[in-house]
């Protein structure tokens, strides 16, 4: 199982504005011919989200079990929180907290040969990086700056640990894939 952080991002490195809004993202036209999602998503075996991301999705789309399944199928999800946010009934979601390593181990068992999608936010992804458990970044930049908001990956990771693999421009989204390079320090 690979651990992949797939997210959209502004040119100045934010994944949401200060009000947790993604309205800026929907302004940037996506190429209709982009088949990436259809090719990538079947390889995803499970999802991980922080509580803000989860509550934003549920709140924005008023997600019930049918819509969740429409979006994510029957993939298991792990929601990180120190609280007890209401979980969508009838969906395979688990509330977790603290160390990401046991969650990674559980996900590896559940995902089999599929990959784990870290939906966000940035610090939670950073926790996977800190534990040496982050493999890949897939970042879709929009031609937007916000000047503030939720950071994409609030860690100092330099080029010895991160390498570009490829990039493609699709409409007004620039998708960049990077590999995390393991060294003794991570
Ligand atoms: N651009 C995109 O494609 C994209 C993708 C994903 C997310 N987003 C947006 O980006 C924003 C991200 O928000 P965010 O930075 O606040 O991050 P977040 O990871 O979504 O939420 C942070 C919360 O996750 C919980 N958490 C994180 N690590 C934990 C741990 N180890 N143990 C227990 N709980 C933990 C805590 O919740 P509690 O406070 O409940 O303890 C923490 O306050 C959201 O608005 C989201 O909608 C955008």
150 lines ligand 1 (CB under 6 A): yes
The neighbouring-strand residues paired with 49 are 79, 120
Select the more confidently predicted residue: 60 or 110.
110
- CA neighbor of 27 nearest in space, from 37, 35, 18, 17: 17
Q: Using CA atoms, how far apart are residues 121 and 101, in angstroms rounded to an integer?
A: 17
pLDDT given for residue 118 in this prediction: 98
- CA neighbor of 46 nearest in space, from 113, 128, 126, 99: 113
154 lines ligand 1 (CB under 6 A): no
178 lines ligand 1 (CB under 6 A): no
pLDDT given for residue 66 in this prediction: 92
pLDDT digits (tens, 9 = 90+) for 100-131: 999 999 999 999 999 999 999 999 999 999 99
pLDDT given for residue 85 in this prediction: 93
Q: What is the pTM of this model?
A: 0.96
Mean pLDDT in residue range 36-55? 96
Q: Using CA atoms, how far apart are residues 20 and 169, in angstroms rounded to an integer?
A: 26
pLDDT given for residue 38 in this prediction: 94
Residue 186 predicted with pLDDT over 60: no
pLDDT given for residue 31 in this prediction: 77
pLDDT given for residue 134 in this prediction: 98
**Most ligand 1 atoms within 8 A of CB, residue of 6, 13, 52, 56 to mutate:** 52
Residue 27 predicted with pLDDT over 90: no
pLDDT given for residue 183 in this prediction: 83
């Amino acid at each position: 199982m690979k651990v992949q952080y797939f997210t959209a991002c502004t040119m100045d490195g934010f994944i949401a504005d200060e009000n947790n809004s993604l309205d800026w993202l929907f302004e940037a036209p996506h190429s209709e011919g982009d088949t990436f999602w259809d090719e990538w998503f079947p390889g995803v075996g499970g999802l991980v989200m922080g509580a803000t991301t989860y509550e934003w999705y549920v709140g924005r789309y008023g997600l019930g079990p049918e819509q969740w399944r429409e979006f994510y199928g029957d993939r298991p999800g792990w929601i990180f929180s120190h609280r007890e946010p209401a979980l969508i009934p009838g969906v395979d979601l688990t509330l977790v907290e603290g160390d990401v390593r046991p969650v990674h181990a559980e996900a590896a068992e559940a995902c089999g040969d599929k990959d784990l999608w870290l939906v966000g936010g940035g610090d939670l992804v950073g926790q996977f990086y800190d534990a040496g458990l982050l493999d890949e970044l897939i970042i879709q930049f929009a031609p937007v700056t916000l000047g503030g908001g939720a950071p994409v990956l609030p860690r100092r990771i330099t080029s010895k640990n991160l390498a570009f693999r490829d990039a493609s421009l699709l409409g007004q989204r620039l998708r960049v894939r990077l590999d995390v390079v393991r060294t003794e320090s991570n």
